[in-house]
Amino acid sequence: MRKNFVFGSCFLFLCEEPTHLIMIKYNPKSWVALIFHSYSRQTVKMLMPSIIGIGAYMAILIFVVVDVIQIEFQTTTAVHSLLGIVLGLFLVFRTNSAYDRWWEGRKQWGALVNNTRNLALKMSAFLPEGDKENRSYFAQMIPNFVFSMKEHLRDGVVMEEIDVVGEDFIAKFDGIEHVPNKISLMLYQRVNTLYKKGTLTSDQFFVLDKELKSFSDILGACERIRNTPIPYSYSMYIKKFIFTYILTMPLAFIYPFHYWAIPMVLMVFFMLMTIELIAEEIEDPFGKDVNDLPTDTLSKKIKANVREILL
């Protein structure tokens, strides 16, 4: 479960994001369903400590300035209007960068779906119909790579999701940190053995090498996304800008609106923080958050397709 530091008043509140096992399916043309979707309530719940903190800060500030000290000074929204434009550009770049990572991850998983099917189709065509042993081996090991890759991009491979192929199968992974690499190696070794036995020709071996190599390429691309977060300074300063912008905004709205400034600033705060939270969530698209890629569903689909082809 990923945690976020969310700004509230003069403090940092540690809020936990809700985790989900599947990606939300929705109709983009249904306005009412989207506006009142439960995800909006979850976002409000997540930001509630910060909203309460900002609201309390503003109420105290307005009470002290207007009712206690009764200071009157000329206020203007021009500065925050200009800063809002700059901050908006920062958030647009931030969201676009995060979405690029999400979309790149989706393209890589789309390529994985295609390449696993291609490998299964070629193995089914190259292997004799009566070779049940090798057909069963690839029908299990190809999905094994996919499931191990899915969990490798999260917190570690769940061996319970891996099909056991042979008596000493589990023992082969003792001391192995990179399980997908090991499974990819075992696929290469099996194909090489079939080539040496004469089951596969040199041309067929060359054709299969392309599909096997693509597994490592796709995994490497996903690892690059997973292990290369947005630069620290950029993430730090955009949070500082939001914090400073919201903290100083009440000063521009105190005298024109008095206590009505509280809901106005809270609405701006909610919008800015929602954009930042969405960017934080989708920049790592391989987890279990509501906006992450449906890698669990894709893995099950690949497994069903490969077995249908080979068995």
pLDDT at 9 (0 to 100): 33
Domains in the chain, number = 2
Q: Which domain holds residue 61?
A: 3-72+230-282
pLDDT above 70: percentage of residues in the chain: 87
Q: Identify whether the C-beta of residue 53 lies closer than 8 Å to the C-beta of residue 8.
A: yes
Residue 13 has pLDDT above 90, yes or no: no
How many residues are listed for the chain in this entry?
Answer: 311
Is 204 part of any domain? yes
Is 80 part of any domain? no
Residues 236, 152 share a domain:
no
Is 202 part of any domain? yes
Task: Supply 164's token pair.
Answer: 């056991």
* Dist CA 163 CA 84 (whole Å): 54
**What angle (nearest 5°) sits at the alpha carbon of residue 191, between those of residues 187 and 196?**
145
Residue 8 has pLDDT above 70, yes or no: no
Residues 209, 241 share a domain:
no
Residues 63, 33 share a domain:
yes
Query: In terms of Cα–Cα distance, which of 127, 124, 161, 130 is closest to 146?
Result: 161
CA distances from 154 to 61, 177, 289 (A): 44, 14, 11
Residues 181, 302 share a domain:
yes
Residues 222, 120 share a domain:
yes
* Dist CA 236 CA 241 (whole Å): 9
Residues 202, 240 share a domain:
no
* Dist CA 123 CA 208 (whole Å): 8
Between 195 and 86, residue with greater pLDDT: 195
Is 104 part of any domain? no
Chain segment 150-188, per-residue pLDDT in tens: 999 998 888 899 999 988 899 999 999 999 999 999 999
User: What is the mean predicted confidence (pLDDT) over 254-263?
Assistant: 84
What is the distance between the terminal CA atoms of the chain, rounded to a whole angstrom?
A: 38
Residues 205, 128 share a domain:
yes
Residues 9, 32 share a domain:
yes
Chain segment 218-230, per-residue pLDDT in tens: 999 999 999 998 8
